[in-house]
Amino acid sequence: LIVALLHAELPEEIGGRVLDLVGGNPLFAEQYGSLLLDRGLLVRAIDGLHLEVTEELPLPETVQAVLAARLDTLSPEHKAFLCDAAVIGETFWRGGVAALSGCAASEVEEAMEALADRDLVRPMVSASMAGEAEYIFWHALARDVAYAQLPRRVRLAKHTAAADWLRAKAGERVEELAYHYATALDLARATGDRERAEGLLGPAVHYLSKAADRNLALDVAVAEQQYAHALGLVSDDAPQRPWLLARWAEALQQRGRFRESADAFLSAADGLRSRGDLPSAAAALARSWGPLNDLGDPRAQAVVADAEHLLEGTPDSPELVAVLAERAVEHTMCGDWRAAVASAERALTVAGELGLDLPARALGFRGMARCLGGDAGGIDDLRRALAEAQRQGLGRDVAVLQSNLGMGLALHHGFREVLGVHREGLEYAQRHGIEEFVLSFRAELIEDLTGTGDWDEALDEVATLRPVLERADFAWMLVTVRTNELQILARRGGEAIAAAPTAGLLGAARQSELPEDTIQTLFACAEAAQALGDGARALALLSECVAVPDAGAATGYAWCLAEAVRVALGAGDPALAARLIEVTTGEGPMHERGLASARAALLEHRGDVDEAAEAHAAAASLWCEFGDPYEEGRALLGQGRCLVALGRAPEAAAPLAAAREIFARLGARPALAETDAVLADAGLAPGAGA
């Protein structure tokens, strides 16, 4: 490397010492070679490099020391220009250095050419600021060393000057302005310059919050740190503090820090209300619903309604649109889809009347509510809302709507199509640092994989995600993940289901205000109880599920209905099985399929075997189209069992063989054993008719 950098072999008398010194560090090698040239210790000749002096070579122990030694070889003017450039940043502009130094731009340009010859800076091919030549330090470490040459009071003056120049030249560069004003403020406080610190506080907070607003859609971690920095600069009674708290709360939520987020939203709402800003207070209060709900905090039940009440009698406003959108979210999650649609449509109307951008969140949750209510047209709403959120740069809402689009597709087209949507959403959340939705998409993928029969992959993901959710205090998502895990274990049987704890899971689900959590968990625990031979407990859990208000409208109810009916019949309670079917009130393809399999199972139990065989066959076709192999296998098993009972064993061979292949692939041992028993009773070998 040294030979390549110097374009010549090192003389023997220094080669060994240099190699020992740099110790394999390429940056050290590069800078040390340049230092020897800068000091005139090595000179080029026709036959190579020669050592010109007999004194000992300089032996600095760090790269920084090498760079500092190189800077000492510069003229005072060039060194001062380089230090001014270091104040501006790793990249800097000719005009900025001129402003800080008080010299002409032509002098700066001449100096930069000389510094470029020494490989300390280099010009950028295309400048990011119109009309300004732009440069970059050859190494970031060179910039750090140059910056360190300046005393703190000088840095304070230079950062202030850099900010003033940048604001006049390119006021939209809020990131750099935030850096310069905040750094200048820190230096003013550190040096005891109170008067200057007071003057810098306002600009520092302003540009930090502006930079954070921009980063919230790009890099949530950076935005959260900038909001926190701005909050750390202002006093508890500062007028801008509640607004900063509300924005910080949003960043905290996206980072998965739900407890801090909820507290910040509620504190912001109190502060805004005390200042008489009811619209902003209502918006902050409504937004607290999300993290409170994620925590399973009972306060979530009242905050959105309280936010609406705050706005009663006030003129329509953008904040009202935001509150109505949150009301639509809450109604959707709680299963009141008509109310969700009504709130969303009112938000859309108010936004239109005020001339605001289309509220993507409201439109998206109208679409979600429509999908949950059986209206496939909701998918069009979801796609349009997602496109609008992307156009407006609404980082978190893009993730929300991508998630909801996946759920809408699952309800109406099955699980296979959803995997790609949710994986795309996970990639988006990871790229933008939205930890909340990194966790959420991972949990949703577990549910997708449960549905598609990729159970080994689902359980592997549970093992890695579950402890993360526990640390994050992500209550409702943890319930969902544990429910999917229990469902798979119950269907696989064996020792794993015996070791699966359900008491804590049931307690968490019962505390939730979301019917989806409660219902699907009750069904999974009933499956587990039946798998362990406790039919009485299974029936008690199913009875509890039926008693949940509006249970039959829930998506989870439709997905688990057929297995729940089979559990009730297996535990000897056909009346409860019939009741499970009767309370089903939802509409759409998922409910259609759940009802098809459940009714087929009840027909078979009642002895209507001929009709049941046809019903099972129809259900198998529906589940195959939907991409749920377990339910497809169960329907095929039911069809084969009915055909055997009708004395049509040869016809039963194909559906039974198909069912057996599915259960073997899934590792669903109880269903596989049941299939083998039917095959044996019919005198058919396993795999016959495949």
Residue 75 burial by Cβ neighbours in a 10 Å radius (0-12, 13-18, 19+): exposed
Mean pLDDT of 645-655: 95
Among 72-76, 451-455, 658-662, the least confident range: 72-76
Convert the pLDDT of each residue in 442-472 to its tens digit: 999 999 999 999 999 999 999 999 999 988 8
Longest dimension (CA), the chain: 108
Residue 213 has pLDDT above 90, yes or no: yes
Among residues 662, 479, 442, the alpha carbon closest in space to that of 556 is found at 479
Q: In terms of pTM, does the model score above 0.85?
A: no
Residue 164 burial by Cβ neighbours in a 10 Å radius (0-12, 13-18, 19+): middle
pLDDT at residue 614, rounded to an integer: 97
Residue 555 binned pLDDT confidence (cut-offs 50, 70, 90): confident
Distance CA(657)–CA(676), nearest Å, equals 9
What residues does 137 pair with on adjacent strands? Answer: 121
pLDDT at residue 8, rounded to an integer: 61
CA distances from 251 to 221, 226, 293, 401, 435 (A): 8, 10, 17, 18, 10
Residue 493 has pLDDT above 70, yes or no: yes
Distance CA(690)–CA(656), nearest Å, equals 8
H/E stretch holding 224? helix 220-233
Mean pLDDT of 552-570: 91
Could you tell me which residues come within 8 angstroms of residue 90 by beta carbon, excluding any fewer than 6 positions away? 136, 137, 140, 143
Average pLDDT of the chain is 90
Torsion of CA 182, 186, 192, 196, to 10 degrees: -10
Residue 388 binned pLDDT confidence (cut-offs 50, 70, 90): very high
Residue 418 binned pLDDT confidence (cut-offs 50, 70, 90): very high
Among residues 675, 627, 628, the alpha carbon closest in space to that of 655 is found at 675
Q: Give percent helix, percent strand, percent coil of the chain, each to the nearest 5.
A: 75, 5, 20
| Paired tokens of 623 | 């589940």
Residue 690 binned pLDDT confidence (cut-offs 50, 70, 90): very low
Convert the pLDDT of each residue in 112-149 to its tens digit: 999 999 888 999 988 889 889 999 998 887 898 899 99
Convert the pLDDT of each residue in 15-63 to its tens digit: 666 666 666 667 667 776 676 677 666 666 666 665 555 455 565 656 7
Convert the pLDDT of each residue in 422-442 to its tens digit: 999 999 999 999 999 999 999
Residue 502 has pLDDT above 90, yes or no: no
CB 300 within 8 A of CB 334: no
- In this structure, the number of other CB atoms found within 10 A of the CB of residue 263 comes to 17
- Among all chains, which residue has been given the structure tokens 């109604």? 331
Residue 372 has pLDDT above 50, yes or no: yes
Work out the angle between the directed axes of helices 63-71 and 26-38 (0-180°, nearest 10).
20
Percentage above 90 pLDDT, the chain: 73
Among residues 306, 326, 248, 311, the alpha carbon closest in space to that of 280 is found at 311
| Paired tokens of 213 | 């607003």
Mean pLDDT of 199-209: 96
Work out the angle between the directed axes of helices 649-666 and 669-681 (0-180°, nearest 10).
160
CB 502 within 8 A of CB 518: no
pLDDT at residue 283, rounded to an integer: 97
DSSP for 245-300 reads: HHHHHHHHHHTT-HHHHHHHHHHHHHHHHHTT-HHHHHHHHHHTHHHHHHHT-TTH
Mean pLDDT of 638-663: 96
Residue type, 318: P
Convert the pLDDT of each residue in 144-179 to its tens digit: 889 999 999 999 999 999 999 999 998 889 999 999
What residues does 5 pair with on adjacent strands? Answer: none
Among 22-31, 260-269, 271-280, 595-604, the least confident range: 22-31
Among 212-221, 295-304, 499-508, 610-619, the least confident range: 499-508
